[in-house]
Amino acid sequence: MDMEKILIVGGSSGMGLALARRCLEEGAHVIIAGRSEAKLCAARDGLGRPGTLETAVVDISREDEVAALFTRIGRLDHIVSTAAAIEGAYRLLPEVELKAAQRVVESKFYGPLLLAKHGAPKLPPTGSLTFVSGIAAYRPAARGSVVAAVNAALEGLVRALAVELAPIRVNAVSPGWVDTPIWELVAGDAKNETLAAMARRLPAGRVGRPEDIADAIRFCPADRWVTL
């Protein structure tokens, strides 16, 4: 049997990095992709396994770069994207800057759309695409209107793609409160205090870890029946 080959966009940090580690441990060939070559190199050094790990610099909001990526990669079994460019997105409405909002749309909507457009032809009928949305789609908060809207749009896209691309499976994983580097952008110095306060409200008594969500994401490619 051929080694399973998985592309993880956003695989240099947070949930994507935890997923890359899990897939490598299970014997898969993994390509981690992202915009920052420095972050990808650091992730590669931390993950080890040079024989089954590749890196690829790509901006998934640019169709020419996405098309070129899949031309280089060739055959794939699964595609996952945890990418999200949310810098400057969490603002009250009067403070929202259009460019920041556009970056969120590009990374979490246009990016997945382009990954599906150019990546689906590289997948076998048993292949899958998995994207990460977020709890903001259902429980939006002040300062989160842009992120809430984009997460909801992504889930609508995934439902449509699951029908159009069948039997290729398409899913969205919606994490709750998870301790990832994104929170440093959202809450700044108040990150630990903010997450601790939320942990006290949650039934589990803690916020999620990247490894927790990696388990949920990994389930989607592994189970050949589940599709949104």
- What amino acid positions are annotated as catalytic residues? 133
Q: Which two tokens stand for residue 146?
A: 């842009």
Tracing tokens 């159009």 back to the chain, one arrives at 164
Question: Strands, E, within the chain: which ranges?
Answer: 5-9, 29-34, 53-57, 78-81, 128-132, 169-173
Buried b (16+ CB within 10 A) or exposed e, 104-122: bbbbbbbbbbbbbebbbeb
**Count of beta carbons in the 10 Å neighbourhood of residue 192:** 11
| C-alpha 5: how far from chain center | 17
Q: Cα(215)–Cα(228) distance, rounded to whole angstroms?
A: 17
Tracing tokens 């947070």 back to the chain, one arrives at 14
Closest CA to 21 of 175, 226, 210, 174: 210
Is the separation of the CB atoms in 34 and 57 below 8 Å? Answer: yes
Cβ-proximal residues to 67 (8 Å cutoff; 6+ apart), any chain: 118
Tracing tokens 């040079």 back to the chain, one arrives at 50
Closest CA to 198 of 221, 223, 218, 177: 177
